Structures are given as C-alpha cells and as structure tokens.
Chain A
C-alpha cells in the first residue's frame, strides 16, 4: 500500500513537473516566435539618420523633442507635420489625426509608424501620455546620448520656476 502510494505520488509529481515544463516551454516558444516579427524598435533621430534608408515596411518608434516653430498643417488640412529632434539630428514626422492632449512644441514625444521613401516618418500614432514636465524615458535617454540633456533639463527647470 505505502509503496504504491509513494509510487503514485512520484508519478503525480512527474505529471505536474511535466505539465509545468510544457506550459513554460509553450509560452516561451509562442512569445519568441511572435517577438521575431512584431516587436517595434525605438530609434532616436540620430539613429534614424545613421541607419537610413530604413525599410518602409518596418514599424518603428521614434522619440525626441518637437522642435519649436515647426508644427505646420499640410494642404489637405488634416495632416500635421513637425520636426522631431534630439538636438543633434532631426527627422520630419507627418501625422494625420488628432494630436494627443499633451503635445506641445518643445516637449518630448514618441511616435509610432514607418519611414517613407523620401525620409519622412509617417506616424500612425503619436504618444505623449505623460506629465507636462516629465520626459518619456526613451527620449531622455536619447537626449543624454546626444549630449544635450543638461541644457533641456535646465530649461525645463526654469520654466517650472516661472
């Protein structure tokens, strides 16, 4: 009796371990195959300029500051073009639709979309879902890389005091 119980216990443990392993392996396999072609990479304007031309089929995110005085409406009345910069390089972004609440000139934004043939970034989505004096971390990082972080930080601090 005790032998068979020990045996069944062992077998049950095997089942559980097997099931857990199977589940984990399945989840990992599914996730990895899906990662291959559905992950969106983030680039700063410098990296875009460096890597151009970029395949127009590849979805990517771009982040930086909206350069002051560059937000314009195109002729069709609903497409908005603006320049996103990390102070070293800049890329023109075109977007049709309503811009998010916290979109301002001089603020950090992240846009998702693809590059077209003539070097304009066509955004399908513009994200600026953060606080008015909070920088998206990717943008902050790319600004730090391009070496203009302190300047922007000082400017923001000054604005906050006012």
Chain B
C-alpha cells in the first residue's frame, strides 16, 4: 500500500516539477507583466500562482510555509519556498516508501525481489534500495529536490535581504528555479519510464534473489547518496548558468551565487571518487585503487570539469572575465555527469561494472539527455557572444594561469571521455572489440598532465591582471631549488628508476614546494602585518588555506600513486599454518583459517600476525565469504596502513599441496594516496564550512 503512495508521490513530483517550471518560467512572467499592466495588480497574480501550486498537491502534503516576503517589484511568485518544499517532501515520501518496501521485504515489487532477500541484514536491505536502476534514479530525484530547496532558500534569503531587487535579478532567480523544476520533472519522468521502482507483480515470489554479494558493502552503499548529491550540485550549476545566459547576467554576483554549489559539487564528486577508489582497493581483492573503468571514468570526468569550474569561477568573481567559458563549463559539467550515469547504467560497455547485471532499459535517460543538453548548448551558442568581456588581462597573470589550467583540465576530461566511448563507437562501426586500459590513459594524458602540474606550481603566486616573468622567477626560486633537490635525491637514491615515476615524484615535489614556499612567504615575510604570526595566519583567509590544502593534497596523492606503483612488492605463495612470509620491511605470519558464520554468509577467515622488526604490530583477517543465496564467493582483503606503506593481504583457495594460496602485497607510500585525497576533501570542506560558519556568526555578512 505504501509503495502505491510512493508511486503517486513520484507522479506528483513530475507534476510539481512541471508546475515549478511553468510558475517561474519567463513566459508566465511576461504574461504576468501584461496582466499587471492591465491594472489587475500584482497581488492577484501571486495569489493565483500560490493557489495553483497548492491545489494540485494539497491532498498529499500541507505546505507549512507562510509566504512572508512582501510583494516584489516585478510580478514574482512570492512563495519561492513552497513549491520546492512540496517537491522535497514528495521526494522523501517516495524514497521512504521504497526503503520501507525493502525493510519489510515486500517481494511483490520486482525491484525488491531482484536485489534483496529476507535474510539480508537490515542495513544492507536499506542500502539495496539504492543499487538497482530505479532506486538510484529515485535517489537522484531526491538529491535534486534537496538541492532545489537549498537553492530556493539561498536566493530567497538574498531577495529578502536586499528589498530593492532589480527586475533582472528576480528574472534570473525565476529562470533558474524554473529550469530546476524542469530538470526535476524530466528526472521523475525518466524514472517512471525507464525503471519504475514501484511496479508490482500479481504473484509475489516466495523470497528474493538476494543482494549482489559484491554490493554488500558499506562503502558501496555510501557511494550512491554521495554521488547523487554531487550530481544535484551540478544540476544547480547547470540551471544557474542557463539562467545567467538567458538574462545576460553572468557577472560577479552570478559567480557569488555559484560559489557554494561549485565547491559542494566538487567535494561530493571527489568524495564519491575516493570512496570508489578505496572500495576497489579493499573490497574485491583486486588490490588496485584505480582501474580506468567506466564507473570510475564517469565520476572522474565531471569531477575534472568541476575542478576547472572552481578555478575559472574564482576568476569570474574576482575580475569579471572568462564569462562564456564559465558558462560553458557549467553546462558541460552536468552534461558529462548525466552522460556518465547513462554510460554506467546502460549495458553498452561490456562486463565492466556490476550494476550491469540486469540489462536495463535506459532509453528515456538518453532521450532526456539529448533534449535537455541540445537545448542548453543551442542557447549557449546563441547567447555566449553577447557576454562581452569588459576587461582584458595580460598573458602573464593569475587570470591567464587559471584559464590555462581550466582548459588543460577540460582537455584531460575530453581525452578520458574519448577513451571511454571509443570502444563503443568502434564496436558499433565495425564490430571489433577492443579494450582501452591504463596504458592508453597514461600515454595520452601524460603530455597534458605534466604542463598542468607545472602551471599548478606557480599559478597561485601570480598577480592578478598583469605580472612580470622575472618577478615570478624571484618568487619561485625557493620552490625550484627544493623540487630539484627532491628529484636529485630520488634519482640518486634509486638509481635505476625509470624516468616516468621520477617525473611524477619531481612534479609532486614541485607543487608541494611551491605551495609551502608561498605559505612560508605569506606567514613570515609579510612586513605589513607584523602584529603576530597568528594574525598573519588569520589574514590568509579560508580560500587561500583551502586552495593550498587541495594543491598539497594532490601533490601527495601523485607522489604516493607513482611511488606505490613502482616499488610495489608482491608475493604469491601457498602458505601453511605457522609459515612466515617476508614482504618489504614486514614479516607476516600465517596462523590458519577459521570457519565462521556471518550475518547472511559463511566466511573462511584467515588470521595473519604482522611483525615489524620482530615486534607484532597488527592482526589481519582477510576472508573468503560465501553467500548461499546467490551461491557466490567474495574475497575481502585486509589492509594494514603503516607509516611506510600498506600491507595488503588476501587469501585464495586451498592449493594442491595442502597450503592456502596467499597474496601479500607491500605498497610503499600508499597511505600518501589516501592522505592526499583526504587533504583535498578537507580543503574543499574548509572553503564551504568557514563560509557557513562566518555567515551564521556575522549574521549575513558574506565571508571574504
């Protein structure tokens, strides 16, 4: 019964989304202006709009907001919040209905019967609601609804803070909300057409087919909400860019509006990538953290474009330049995000992701993509050249550095996109099956990544507008020396190292040294603010701190990634109980295997004791789990994160001679990869959180 409510709520989201699109649409506002000029007055228009919104939906949810902003100068629906709030409530309702169906194991819904079982633990039954296509789509709708209300609150706050809102400003807000409503409606429609999660069958099976054992993992489940929150952030960026294009209002206040969304989307997508990487490193006993497979690429491409957007948005806010490029990136980031979802969901790309297990229909997703983005790019084509840049900047300037880096980032994204869809095109054209793997990406990306990292080192110390080359040389001399020392040290210490990882480590050292020397200069060489060092730290500002943290994080990530790939040690052997395995500086003692019962699986858990300099440091428990419902085994590695590297242990079958096959890998500097990712995420969070914190504390005064 609840599922039918959820279904109905989903339908109502469709209706409410369209009515939000219509209510705030430019057409209606024009009509409203005509009505107003015919002396009906603005009051009636807003009253009508308020009614039409509530009327359709009052039987489900009572809108509990009272419109409390007075009538704005233009005919403008004064209950900005009501409709987004209703959509959010409906989204929560339908998501709750789906989760309820999973919790009570209502197998008359095929979606539940496909990926759940009565013996699945409660946490994973809830999580299983996100894994199939229908559930994931529903989650996407919910995340977008959440972004919708937050955006409405943001613009509502701004509109109520500045009572004399210019008419172009309110037109801009209305356009953005209208397009957001349209996107929500399209997503709801796609969910209903492609993979309706609330369909019922007349005869319910006795029990479900069980959750895919590889998905039964907390990180896997956590990834979905994070990913869709990131996509929802991209949705707002997209709609704001479209609205800016429509009203020719791509300027500093546009960049200001965009700021939390860009950083937020960057943060969530980055978190999704990090979760994905750690999962493929630990869960499936593959042991590598990056595979260049479709699911990973479809996260990486939008993340790269969002990173580019972070940079050129900052330029736009500071200097009012790079307008059309910012708008273009805003459109494209969401486009590749959507396309990535389509790629992972459709079974076009072979046995790459486990979500492909049900060959699903995702035509509507593709049709929606084509319609929405062809309209968006057509608009961009028509409008972009009206966005004349008012100011120029010299070639050697911070603007040009950031512009170049954002172009390079989009180039990287383009190469990865080509690599991802090329096998598809080739198979379609001449039926040949090829695989594009790590060698391709390394070879194709290297010529782009190296200059990018070079720029990354000195772009932060460039001056705005105009700078001189010799001045840069002076500022960078410490960094140059430090990175040269690092390269020399590594190349002498490891004399037979191939040039590729050396370049990686050297450039990582360059970024790190540049960031640190700039920080040093700002903290200790600032003559102007001599009060105290702490004062200098305060003067850095959250933006600078978050930028530096993110850059240092990337440097550490690159160094760790190159080092762990080069100095990896792998031992595969058949071990007997009590046997000692030497790997790197560690000694691993195999203690044997115990048969244990898990919640819905049986596990053969091996015990290893890890010794470092003959002192026991940790116990490791890699497992082979057997899930009887699906009749499949999964292998869980266990990992020790040491100071000098990760020890990655996984066990296999019993071998002929009575031992057990054990794979032990020592990955030096692997913790650097995770530290780097965490530093980047902390950098992003600082940027968002300080702003929110300052806004609360200073009561509405925007932070630096």
A interface residue numbers (CB < 8 A to B)? 5, 8-9, 12-13, 16, 19, 23-24, 26-28, 30-31, 33-35, 37-42, 59, 61, 73, 77-78, 96-102, 110, 112, 127-132, 134, 136-138, 141
Given the complex, which residues of A lie within 8 Å of B410, measured CB to CB? 23
| Cβ-defined partner of B663 (8 Å) among A28, A98, A100, A132 | A98
B481 contacts the other chain (CB 8 A): no
How far, in angstroms, from A4 to B361 measured CA to CA in the complex?
53
B415 contacts the other chain (CB 8 A): yes
Binds A, one of B57-65, B352-360, B605-613: B352-360
B214 contacts the other chain (CB 8 A): yes
B interface residue numbers (CB < 8 A to A)? 212-214, 284-286, 324-325, 347, 350-354, 356-357, 384-386, 388-389, 407, 410-411, 414-415, 418-419, 422, 432-437, 439-441, 443-445, 447-448, 572-574, 630-635, 650-653, 655-657, 659, 661, 663
Interface of A is mostly: mixed
CB <8 Å contact, B351 and A130:
yes
CB <8 Å contact, A30 and B447:
yes
How far, in angstroms, from A39 to B435 measured CA to CA in the complex?
6
CB <8 Å contact, A31 and B388:
no
Residue of A nearest to B213 (CB): A101
How far, in angstroms, from A155 to B437 measured CA to CA in the complex?
33
Instruction: Say whether, besides A9-B388, A78-B655, A96-B572, A23 and B419 are in contact (CB < 8 Å).
Output: no
A-B contact count, CB below 8 Å? 138
CB <8 Å contact, B351 and A5:
no
How far, in angstroms, from A62 to B356 measured CA to CA in the complex?
20
Instruction: Say whether, besides A73-B656, A98-B285, A38 and B634 are in contact (CB < 8 Å).
Output: no
CB <8 Å contact, B411 and A136:
no
CB <8 Å contact, B385 and A30:
no
Interface of B is mostly: mixed
Given the complex, which residues of B lie within 8 Å of A73, measured CB to CB? 655-656
How many Å from the CB of B117 to the closest CB on chain A?
Answer: 14
- Among A28, A30, A136: residue with most chain B CB under 10 A: A30
CB <8 Å contact, A138 and B214:
no
Residue of A nearest to B435 (CB): A40
Instruction: Say whether, besides A16-B384, A39-B436, A77-B655, A137 and B635 are in contact (CB < 8 Å).
Output: no
CB <8 Å contact, B385 and A131:
no
CB <8 Å contact, A101 and B635:
yes
CB <8 Å contact, B407 and A98:
no
Residue of B nearest to A132 (CB): B632
Residue of A nearest to B447 (CB): A30
Residue of B nearest to A142 (CB): B433
Instruction: Say whether, besides A39-B434, A77-B574, A101-B632, A9 and B385 are in contact (CB < 8 Å).
Output: yes
Instruction: Say whether, besides A9-B385, A73-B656, A40 and B434 are in contact (CB < 8 Å).
Output: yes
Given the complex, which residues of A lie within 8 Å of B447, measured CB to CB? 30
Instruction: Say whether, besides A98-B285, A132-B632, A19 and B407 are in contact (CB < 8 Å).
Output: yes
CB <8 Å contact, B385 and A13:
yes
Given the complex, which residues of A lie within 8 Å of B285, measured CB to CB? 98, 101
How many Å from the CB of B420 to the closest CB on chain A?
Answer: 11
CB <8 Å contact, A31 and B422:
yes
CB <8 Å contact, A28 and B350:
no
Residue of A nearest to B440 (CB): A38
The 4 closest A-B pairs by CB, nearest first: A42-B433, A131-B357, A34-B444, A136-B351
CB <8 Å contact, B435 and A26:
no
| Cβ-defined partner of A31 (8 Å) among B325, B439, B444 | B444
How many Å from the CB of A125 to the closest CB on chain B?
Answer: 9
Residue of B nearest to A31 (CB): B418
Given the complex, which residues of B lie within 8 Å of A134, measured CB to CB? 351, 356-357
How far, in angstroms, from A28 to B422 measured CA to CA in the complex?
11
How far, in angstroms, from A139 to B582 measured CA to CA in the complex?
40
How far, in angstroms, from A116 to B447 measured CA to CA in the complex?
33
Sample (14) of A-B pairs whose CB atoms are under 8 Å apart: A23-B407, A23-B410, A23-B411, A35-B436, A41-B432, A77-B574, A78-B661, A98-B635, A110-B351, A127-B351, A129-B354, A137-B347, A138-B350, A138-B351
| Cβ-defined partner of A28 (8 Å) among B212, B418, B436, B441 | B418
Given the complex, which residues of A lie within 8 Å of B284, measured CB to CB? 100-101, 129
How many Å from the CB of B455 to the closest CB on chain A?
Answer: 15
CB <8 Å contact, B659 and A77:
yes
| Cβ-defined partner of B634 (8 Å) among A28, A101, A137 | A101
- Among A12, A16, A73, A137: residue with most chain B CB under 10 A: A137
| Cβ-defined partner of A101 (8 Å) among B214, B384, B388 | B214
Instruction: Say whether, besides A77-B656, A78-B661, A98-B652, A130 and B354 are in contact (CB < 8 Å).
Output: yes
How far, in angstroms, from A111 to B643 measured CA to CA in the complex?
35
How far, in angstroms, from A78 to B521 measured CA to CA in the complex?
56
Given the complex, which residues of B lie within 8 Å of A100, measured CB to CB? 284, 286
Given the complex, which residues of B lie within 8 Å of A39, measured CB to CB? 434-436, 440
Given the complex, which residues of B lie within 8 Å of A78, measured CB to CB? 572-574, 655, 661
How many Å from the CB of B590 to the closest CB on chain A?
Answer: 15
Residue of A nearest to B412 (CB): A27
Given the complex, which residues of B lie within 8 Å of A9, measured CB to CB? 385-386, 388
How many Å from the CB of B248 to the closest CB on chain A?
Answer: 13
Given the complex, which residues of A lie within 8 Å of B435, measured CB to CB? 39-42, 61, 112
How many Å from the CB of B383 to the closest CB on chain A?
Answer: 12
